[in-house]
Amino acid sequence: GAGVSQSPRYKVTKRGQDVALRCDPISGHVSLYWYRQALGQGPEFLTYFNYEAQQDKSGLPNDRFSAERPEGSISTLTIQRTEQRDSAMYRCASSFGTGAPFGYTFGSGTRLTVV
Amino acid sequence: AQSVTQLDSHVSVSEGTPVLLRCNYSSSYSPSLFWYVQHPNKGLQLLLKYTSAATLVKGINGFEAEFKKSETSFHLTKPSAHMSDAAEYFCVVSVDYQKVTFGTGTKLQVIP
């Protein structure tokens, strides 16, 4: 597509439920990144993929968080047993090349609220 | 290890006056540096990037930034602020070309 598409735009879920956040990167973009942005903070790195391979997941806060990109295109970030502290804006970005010099194109994000 | 510090959480300028948003970085190796802008309810948009070419980088909407290695700074400037510049700005550093580190952001207010 023309840009990075994330869905849903807004998600309200009850504590303890699982949620899946979707990211559809720009067609042909090799690298895909997930960030989390709490209110009033800058984006915090979670994980990234080159093609379908997860290269770095050191930013995932705990084992309730996981991500996949099985065909090297669309990615899903899954949060199991959600907690109120998981409430944040989750942003996805993609990049044409495998690296920062190419810059990143960010999606509009998914606003997750855990009640 | 890499880090970035945005020295001001809020900056307020009058329309038509210069803008200066400050950013200092720390890295073990030569960094790539970026400025992103985030308007309310919008995604992050790349303003400009420095990747070891010219130290003075020009971006979109009249913004520019200068990489100063001796001062470990990458301040964002614009000669004349416009109302549409009101947004939050993030300074970003990357050393290993994969993981990036964002600053905490600077909210720019433009007063008519």
Question: Which residue among A56, A106, A109 places its CB closest to the CB of B98?
Answer: A56
- The encoded tokens of residue B13 equal 């300028």
Range in A37-41, A75-79, B40-44, B71-75 the model is least confident about = B40-44
**Cβ-proximal residues to A53 (8 Å cutoff; 6+ apart), any chain:** none
Nearest C-alpha of chain B: how many angstroms from A106? 6
SS3 A14: coil
A40 vs B40 pLDDT, higher one: B40
What pLDDT shows up at residue B29? 78
What pLDDT shows up at residue A16? 97
What pLDDT shows up at residue B32? 85
**Residues in chain A closer than 8 A to B43 (CB atoms):** 4, 91, 106-109
What pLDDT shows up at residue A1? 54
CB atoms within 10 A of CB A14: 8
Question: Given CB atoms, is A41 within the 8 Å cutoff of chain B?
Answer: yes
Residue owning tokens 């550093």: B93
User: Which pLDDT tens digit goes with each residue over B33-85?
Assistant: 899 988 876 667 889 988 877 899 999 999 999 999 999 999 999 999 999 99
What pLDDT shows up at residue B96? 63
> Is B55:B73 a contact under the CB 8 Å cutoff?
no
* Preceding peptide of A8 cis, ω within 30°: yes
